[in-house]
Amino acid sequence: MIERILPAGVAVSEAFADLPGTDLFPEESRLIETSVAARQREFSTARRCAREALGILGLPPRPVLPGRHGAPQWPEGVVGSITHCAGYRAAAIARTTDMMLLGIDAEPNTPLPEGVLESIALPGEQRRVRVLNRTAPGVHWDHLLFSMKEAVYKSWYPCTGQRLEFEDADISVDPDTGRFTARLRLPDHPPQAALPSRLEGRWLAHDGLLITAISVPGARPGG
């Protein structure tokens, strides 16, 4: 499903249920040995998706461990992202010679808890969400906005080492084309001059899920 919002050249694997018989590398197993069973299944399936995506690029299986701030550590020359929510797990990767930035996120198509929108959205974003709630029902636009911001952050941090706060991206959504734009509001743009300050993304609402992706083609700085 997520292939519909990602360009050619991005390797994708997804699962709509946890997959039995998924073997983890010892380093991965140690990360979840004290976790509850549901978390272990979620983690294992997501890692299986990651290895399947690596295989699509012709790369051998390897541990995919969280680095600083939880971002997955991919092999050299690879950029990618992992997401998981109830009923969905996915991994998307590409070579750094083909993709500058890549981030994906999935969330349930349900309302955010009360008060969360105000904590993650700029005033203009809140106004746009209220308009969309009136004019385009069927999508929980507050939760979609949250997912879009997550996709932006997942794409930005691994490349720049620069952590974003919710207010650092001002997002506008096109409800008709399945696209969105994230304008970064950063006082200090990172030294990678080739990176844009305006990111274009795509979104999809299907089967109770909200899926978002940021993909910026082009050779990644240093890639």
Has this prediction a pTM greater than 0.75?
yes
- Residue 69: the pLDDT is 83
Indicate the SS3 state at residue 136.
Answer: coil
The CATH number linked to 146 is 3.90.470.20
pLDDT of 38 > 70? The answer is yes
Residue span of the structural domain in which 203 resides: 2-217
Q: Where is pLDDT greater, at 222 or 107?
A: 107
Residue 222 domain flag: no
Residue 156 domain flag: yes
Residue 85 domain flag: yes
DSSP 139: S
Partners of 199 in the β-ladder: 182
Residue 223 domain flag: no
| Type of residue at 107 | E
- Residue 222: the pLDDT is 61
- Residue 193: the pLDDT is 56
- Residue 196: the pLDDT is 83
Please state the domain count of the chain.
1
